[in-house]
């Protein structure tokens, strides 16, 4: 019986048909034919570690829906002639080090377009959505087509990319972002741009399931005591900020309860109703919006709430869940905690290992990438083992637990949405501990620490978080 596995090498996917009795050596031969990587240089990551030559592929329990990572240098990329002097990481300048560390691409500012650049970098970091964009072959939405080309260029990790076509299509589809003042395009609100981009993607791609939050809404008439239930959905959580809001949790809870005035047919008059929301669905990607901007009639501008609001790197929404899903989510969360402890030991051991001075920077980078991928793969396999059989970890669009990890932050500096500057910060996926982040200041890309992210809580006119993107832990 023949079956097909998928490998991933240098950002490309290859399908390889195999017989049921095929061994590791057979697979390596087929990989060499496709990638030109000699068997001796192939590093193939499978469940449990590296693939051995005599291992029977069909007995490894591989998830055929998930690609297998293959690392290694093809023959065609090897230097010819006299070998060059070996260079070590410590000898590289910043630009050279960026190439080795696979520094991501920046985006050129095309005239007050930092609001769009930060939004694009954030969507690019949401790999499941980015994948759907890359698979788009339609023509009905020119903006999505432009995003596909743009993200392909960004994937090549060029120094910086000009998002000209994407900008033109974005303004064509949403003319409100083409507003000018004295012949110059005006600064715009990044949150509005981010939301409109997601709306455009949702119109042609199946991305809603990755973002959709479900609610149960209980409405209580404060005069009669009558209660009614309804449901609601949203693509983001709002963090409302008032004088008592010090933490993200406080602001989210503010948005889950409100008092409104509604008509009571029985009493034939308007009465106050208390609306209480509980969450019935948690998406894979959770977007949180700090509601910092409000309209001032005197200045006719969006002003900014500068208050400092602390946010966590790990967010647990258990207390906000509806009873219909809470017990199941919390049970998986508790099992996840146990897996995390084991993973922390592996991460700690990886960081303690001294670099091999006999390796070139490229070889060391490949070796580290392999080890990191192995640790991540084990964590994912262990997590999959504790999930109900009905949940496929590779295709899941809903968070099976209540826990999220922070992946991206869009910030704003200044006092008005119509001025100031927007930036994006994204977690470095190659860093196991979450200590390393990328800062996207238009075309300027730099590495920053976890401590820098902690300073983005606000409290002044400097960078303050406007949008947070969390990803379901374990997915």
Same domain, 121 and 25: no
Same domain, 242 and 325: yes
Residue pLDDT, tens place only, 187-236: 999 999 999 999 999 989 989 999 999 999 999 988 888 889 999 999 99
Same domain, 127 and 180: yes
Same domain, 98 and 160: yes
**Mean pLDDT for the chain overall:** 87
Same domain, 345 and 317: yes
Same domain, 39 and 90: no
- Does residue 267 sit within a domain? no
Lowest mean pLDDT among 180-184, 198-202, 266-270: 266-270
Domain boundary pick from 77, 106, 123: 77
Give the count of domains, the chain: 2
Q: Cite the active site residues.
A: 114, 421
CATH code (residue 70): 3.10.20.90
pLDDT of residue 235: 94
Domain boundary pick from 77, 112, 129: 77
What is the span of the domain harbouring residue 185? 85-214+234-253+285-475
- How large is the average pLDDT for residues 232-245? 94
Lowest mean pLDDT among 233-242, 347-356, 415-424: 347-356
Same domain, 94 and 56: no
Same domain, 101 and 197: yes
CATH code (residue 143): 3.90.70.10
Domain boundary pick from 77, 109, 127: 77
Same domain, 56 and 173: no
For the entire predicted model, the pTM comes to 0.80
Same domain, 438 and 358: yes
Same domain, 60 and 140: no
- Does residue 223 sit within a domain? no
Same domain, 16 and 89: no
Residue pLDDT, tens place only, 311-369: 999 999 999 999 999 999 999 999 999 888 888 878 777 777 777 777 777 777 777 77
HEC per residue, the chain? CEEEEEEEECCEEEEEEEECCCEHHHHHHHHHHHHCCCHHHCEEEECCEECCCCCEHHHCCCCCCCCEEEECCCHHHCCCCCCCCCCCHHHCCHHHHHHHCCCCCEECCCCCCHHHHHHHHHHHHCHHHHHHHHCCCCCCCHHHHHHHHHHHHHHCCCCEECCHHHHHHHHHHCHHHHCEECCEECCCCHHHHHHHHHHHHHHHCCCHHHHCEEEEEEEEECCCCCEEEEEEEECCEEEECCCCCCEHHHHHHHHCEEEEEEEECCCCEEEEEEEEEEEEECECEEEEEEECEEEECCCCEEEECCCCCECCCEEECHHHECHHHHHHHHHHHHHHHHHHHHHHHHHHHHHHCCCCCCCCHHHHHHHHHHHHHHHHHHHHHHHHHHCCCCCCCCCCCECCCCEEEEEEEEEEECCECCCCEEEEEEECCCCCCCCEEEEEECCEEEEEEHHHHHCCECCCCCCEEEEEEEEECCC
pLDDT greater at residue 42 or residue 153: 153
């Amino acid at each position: 019986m023949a079956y097909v596995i998928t490998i991933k090498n240098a950002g490309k996917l290859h399908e390889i048909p195999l017989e049921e009795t095929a061994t590791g050596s057979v697979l390596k031969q087929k990989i060499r034919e496709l990638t030109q990587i000699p068997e001796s240089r192939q590093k193939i990551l499978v469940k449990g570690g590296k693939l051995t030559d005599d291992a029977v592929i069909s007995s490894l329990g591989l998830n055929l829906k998930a690609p297998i990572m293959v690392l290694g240098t093809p023959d065609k990329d090897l230097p010819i002639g006299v070998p060059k002097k070996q260079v070590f990481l410590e000898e590289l300048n910043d630009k050279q080090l960026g190439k080795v560390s696979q520094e991501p691409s920046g985006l050129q500012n095309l005239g007050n377009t930092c609001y769009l650049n930060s939004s694009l970098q954030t969507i690019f970091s949401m790999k499941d959505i980015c994948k759907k964009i890359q698979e788009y072959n339609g023509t009905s939405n020119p903006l999505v087509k432009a995003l596909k080309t743009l993200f392909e260029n960004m994937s090549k990790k060029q120094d910086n990319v000009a998002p000209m076509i994407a900008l033109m299509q974005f303004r064509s589809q949403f003319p409100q972002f083409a507003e000018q003042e004295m012949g110059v395009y005006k600064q715009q609100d990044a949150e509005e741009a981010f939301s409109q981009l997601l709306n455009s993607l949702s119109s042609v791609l199946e991305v809603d399931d990755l973002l959709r939050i479900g609610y149960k809404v209980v409405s209580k008439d404060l005069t009669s005591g009558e209660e009614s239930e309804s449901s609601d959905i949203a693509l983001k959580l709002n963090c409302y900020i008032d004088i008592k809001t010090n933490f993200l949790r406080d602001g989210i809870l503010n948005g889950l309860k409100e008092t409104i005035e509604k008509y009571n047919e029985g009493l034939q008059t308007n009465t106050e109703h208390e609306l209480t929301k509980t969450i019935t669905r948690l998406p894979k990607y959770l977007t949180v919006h700090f509601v910092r901007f409000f309209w001032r009639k005197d200045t006719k501008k969006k002003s900014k709430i500068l208050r400092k609001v602390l946010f966590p790197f790990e967010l647990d929404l258990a207390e906000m869940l509806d009873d219909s899903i809470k017990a199941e989510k919390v049970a998986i969360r508790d099992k996840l905690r146990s897996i995390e402890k084991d993973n922390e030991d592996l991460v700690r051991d990886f960081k303690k290992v001294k670099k091999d001075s006999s390796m070139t920077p490229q070889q060391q980078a490949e070796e580290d990438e392999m080890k990191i991928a192995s640790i991540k793969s084990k964590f994912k396999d262990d997590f999959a083992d504790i999930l109900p059989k009905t949940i496929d970890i590779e295709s899941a669009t809903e968070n099976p637990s209540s826990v999220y990890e922070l992946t991206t932050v869009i910030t704003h500096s200044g006092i008005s949405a119509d001025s100031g500057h927007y930036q994006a910060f994204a977690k470095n996926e190659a860093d196991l501990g979450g200590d390393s982040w990328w800062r996207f200041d238009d075309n300027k890309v730099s590495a920053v620490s976890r401590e820098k992210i902690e300073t983005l809580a606000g409290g002044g006119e400097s960078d303050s978080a406007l949008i947070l993107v969390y990803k379901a832990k374990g997915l």
